[in-house]
Amino acid sequence: MNYLLGAFKPACNVLISFNDGKNRKQVPFKKENGQMVTVPLFQSQENIAGKITVEPMQGKKIDHNGVKVELLGQIEMYFDRGNFYDFTSLVRELDVPGEIYERKTYAFEFSTVEMPYETYNGVNVRLRYVLKVTINRGYAGSIIEYQDFVVRNYSPPPEINNSIKMEVGIEDCLHIEFEYNKSKYHLKDVIIGKIYFLLVRIKIKNMDLEIRRRESTGSGTNTHVETETLAKFELMDGAPVRGESIPIRLFLSPYELTPTHRNINNKFSVKYFLNLVLVDEEDRRYFKQQEITMYRLEEEAS
């Protein structure tokens, strides 16, 4: 019986480490099983280098057909779980076929890696970057080890950032004008604006401003759209009067926001909206939605 148990033990331990792992910023990362771990943070065009240590179990040797490491950028749809679409795939061959009797360390390096998309964990899709080590053993079953890392890409402030001005109304009942100071916001920004009541003939009970994230996955008839309300901010409680002006000041830093993602590898998009909601005394809801663009500012790299 002990012999049988031993047959299912792994033949070796595989450890993947990054050369600058101790000095590089670590960020929280949610694994497939829901466990939270910390992993290194990179951005596009960086070098990804490190060491892979293969240590056979006591008294065992590993016959193999080669050892390799891959750097993969992958998109996985949750309705097609287990099928990964690779948009980045780089390979380094580490060893020719042979035997490993004792602890062996391989150095690897991927230089100025193009990683155009950010790591993203959504409702129906995830985008991940991973190092995958394969010890190819043919019929004996390959030994595979993964190491996740996170990619974030930073943008300079946009040169043109127009304000948003819109009018919304119900004929002869309600006419309001709202203004937001800009249309593009970084993740730690503040939304500043004003709402003017030009005509009020219905009894407004309260007014909220919501931040909504809309995630679209797939295409054509297979498009899945998920909308989440990430924040709800009460602008007013009670009835406004004609000529009244209500200020808006909404800090974005407390919320779990990502940059806007537009048609990533023809697989998914993530958009953000400001949704103005008015509720009257009969609990009828009136709302106006406006898209905003989110970006990750370079100063946030600290």
- In angstroms, rounded to a whole number, what is the distance separating the alpha carbons of residues 21 and 135? 23
Above 60 in pLDDT, residue 1? no
| Most confidently predicted of 204-208, 240-244, 258-262 | 258-262
Strand pairing report for 204-217 and 268-280: antiparallel
What is the CATH class of 164-295? mainly beta
pLDDT of residue 298: 79
Residues 270-286 have pLDDT tens digits of 999 999 888 878 888 88
- In angstroms, rounded to a whole number, what is the distance separating the alpha carbons of residues 126 and 268? 9
Residues 113-165 have pLDDT tens digits of 999 999 999 999 999 999 999 999 877 788 999 999 999 999 998 999 999 98
- DSSP structure string for 129-143: EEEEEEE--GGG--E
Percent over 70 (pLDDT), the chain: 95
Strand pairing report for 184-186 and 285-295: parallel
Above 60 in pLDDT, residue 82? yes
> What pTM, to 2 d.p., does this model score?
0.86
**Which burial class, exposed, middle or buried, applies to 256 when counting CB atoms under 10 A from its CB (0-12, 13-18, 19+)?**
exposed
Name which of 81-85, 86-90, 210-214, 223-227 the model is least confident about.
Answer: 81-85
pLDDT of residue 110: 96
Domain ranges of the chain: 12-151, 164-295
Residues 165-181 have pLDDT tens digits of 888 777 777 788 889 99
For tokens 């992958």, what's the residue? 74
Above 70 in pLDDT, residue 265? yes
Topology, domain 12-151: Immunoglobulin-like (2.60.40)
Q: CA torsion angle for 285, 288, 291, 297 (degrees, to 10)?
A: -80
Q: Do domains 12-151 and 164-295 have the same CATH topology?
A: yes
Above 50 in pLDDT, residue 223? yes
